[in-house]
Structure 1
């Protein structure tokens, strides 16, 4: 397990239905698997101070899915211990839920010729930007089947705009309802984003 930096937490949290809107459960600590397949968040109730955990794991198609939530821990150390079994390296990815469509890999060209701009993005010099776009793509609730193929072509800028729009909604506590793939958005405001709280996001001293 390793501690999660704020910027990484912000990206992972975009995959939650309410994004950065944790409501009355403030995130105060976060850890991840060394193999990047698991992510754990410790939350604290604003009203009662009770600690809880949320576990997220990668599916077979790399999309994050919430696999567990528990509350009632007396300390950060106890919450950390509860997270450990879920964040061990080498555990298999989660299966897709019934009815879910396998998310096509963004950088698998599958014999297609990418546009010049996407070829630059896929190069060594732009790896951080490529990683960020892939995380936004994986955070989208239900991208249409042509999303990847469009992104590889001259429609790249349109798809990039969609990814940025989803990120903006999730960062500002808006949830997109996506019963079916659509290009428009129906939103409702959720509770405010609080970010990692005063408990920090490093490993507890007693757990070092």
Structure 2
């Protein structure tokens, strides 16, 4: 396998849109100052675990089941017409994670609800668009991550270089994912650009739940 193809596929797998919510919540739980979320240390690991279960494990298992049943051809979902059902399953998981954090006292914090609500909104918009156009879900996920970290930097940590560093790293990874999706010919430049715009917009819109 060509090294560049292997790199592009690796980036697409590691930074899969189902994995991004877990990365973001783990960053909020363990990568920011301890007092930001006000969560007990004993709640942080379970929080990340529950988010991973609802937003990654269950949707991924649902997609694998659809492949096994012959409903979709592969987990890559290259055919736009096969994407709505897996995206619907993922949306249900994302919504469940948002509600679990919102109504579980040991996990509840407005910032976490904002993050998960923005991600859920982005996925639902992706689902609707997918009925007509193959927008890049990878770009939506990475755009949301960049938008969230920029929002944190501006509103909560304007003097924190660590948050600025995470935002810069997310931006570089987002550009790498854009290259990967284009190199693999999974999307057009317009589909990738629209995905980033949607992800950033949803991250900002999630602020409305605060």
Decide which structure has greater helix share: 2
Decide which structure has greater strand share: 1
* Structure with larger RCO (C-alpha < 8 A, sep 6+): 1
Structure-1-length-normalised TM-score: 0.29
- The structure with the largest alpha-carbon Rg is 1
